[in-house]
Amino acid sequence: MMVGGSLAARDGAIDWWWLGVTGVALFCMEVAKNAWGDVYDYDSGTDLAVEPADRTPFSGGKRVLVDRLLTRGQTWTLAFGFGGIGAALGAYLVFARAPEALWVGAVGLALGWSYHGPPLKLAYRGLGELDVVLCYGPLISLATYVVQRRSYELDVVWLSLPLGVFTAAFLIANEFPDHAADAGAGKRNLVVRLGKPAAARLLAVVWALGFGGVAALPALGFPATVLFGLAPLPLAVWAGARVLRQPETFHRHAPVQPAALGVFVLYAVMTGVGVLVG
């Protein structure tokens, strides 16, 4: 939203009411996605199989079912309750503000469900990372922009693609502690498919591609101030080096996962500031 909103502010006045409705709708869908994702990962057995030594605040699921904080029925109630509110707000945005946003909302809903949900279950087929690149990069950014400007702008895609890549890197880092549990449950994400040493090299490549995309933004017509988005590069270098050095156990010794989270948060904030300053 920071990326899409900053570009919308570049191109005209921000309507704060519709920005707020967009934010609440996305928040509700995020809650719903986390809830139904927890049910599917619990049912597959992967969240139950994570060893205590491999549990972190960033991986192993939300654990509300594993730790018996909620029942399965309560979790589904949250999923459909928040999902229903999010979908209703999405319909309100489309019919009362921006009919142009219909397709991006529909695609986002389909991909959000399909990360865990049948029939695609992308996270179990090695395609969940690509799903995250699209949803947490261009789709949310485009939705934010279109609700404001009622048109599509290619700049939003270029600026948000690195954000999607960095968010996928965070996901990949979180898959390392769950490797054994995911493999046993048939959750064939990239870390399971490649193995930890090769996945560590892939993670470094993903970050390199993301920052290479950031460096190329001025050549696409963006102001040089978008290079504020390079601010989290040292965090990525540090985290990538730790993963390459200890791919099997880095999560037990170094705060790589919060660093990976910091990369995409800092990119979104600093790039948005760069757009506004530029």
Tens of pLDDT, residue by residue over 62-75, are 889 999 999 999 99
137 by Cβ neighbours in 10 Å (0-12 / 13-18 / 19+) ranks as buried
Question: Are 105 and 151 a contacting pair, CB within 8 Å?
Answer: no
Q: Tens digit of pLDDT for each residue in 236-271? A: 999 999 999 999 999 999 999 999 999 999 999 999
| Domain ranges, residue 81 | 2-277
**Whole-number Cα distances in Å, 80 to 43, 64, 160:** 18, 16, 29
Please state, rounded to an integer, the average pLDDT across all residues of the chain: 96
pLDDT of residue 6: 97
pLDDT of residue 62: 84
Q: Tens digit of pLDDT for each residue in 130-142? A: 999 999 999 999 9
180: tokens are 């054994």
Q: What's the gap between Cα 67 and its chain centre? A: 25
Q: Tens digit of pLDDT for each residue in 32-54? A: 999 999 999 999 999 989 988 88
**Whole-number Cα distances in Å, 260 to 31, 145, 154, 275:** 21, 26, 27, 23
**Which residue, 214, 179, 182, is CA-closest to 198?**
179
Half-sphere exposure of 109 (CA within 13 A, CB side): 20
pLDDT band at 59 (very low <50, low <70, confident <90, very high): confident
Higher pLDDT, 214 or 63: 214
Question: Are 264 and 167 a contacting pair, CB within 8 Å?
Answer: yes
For range 144-157, the mean pLDDT: 97
SS3 267: helix
Question: Are 152 and 180 a contacting pair, CB within 8 Å?
Answer: no
Q: Quickly list H helices, the chain.
A: 2-10, 16-44, 72-96, 102-114, 128-134, 140-149, 154-175, 179-185, 190-194, 196-216, 233-245, 250-253, 256-277
Sign (positive or negative) of CA dihedral 67, 71, 76, 78: negative
pLDDT of residue 61: 82
Q: Tens digit of pLDDT for each residue in 80-116? A: 999 999 999 999 999 999 999 999 999 999 999 999 9
Q: Measured between alpha carbons, how far is 231 from 275 in angstroms, rounded to an integer?
A: 14
Note the residue count of the chain: 278
Name the region of 121 (left: φ>0; alpha: ψ -120 to 50; beta: rest): left
Question: Are 243 and 200 a contacting pair, CB within 8 Å?
Answer: yes
Half-sphere exposure of 181 (CA within 13 A, CB side): 23
Question: Are 33 and 112 a contacting pair, CB within 8 Å?
Answer: yes
**Into how many domains does the chain fold?**
1
**Which residue, 26, 16, 20, 146, is CA-closest to 94?**
146
Give the number of other Cβ atoms within 10 Å of residue 186's Cβ.
13
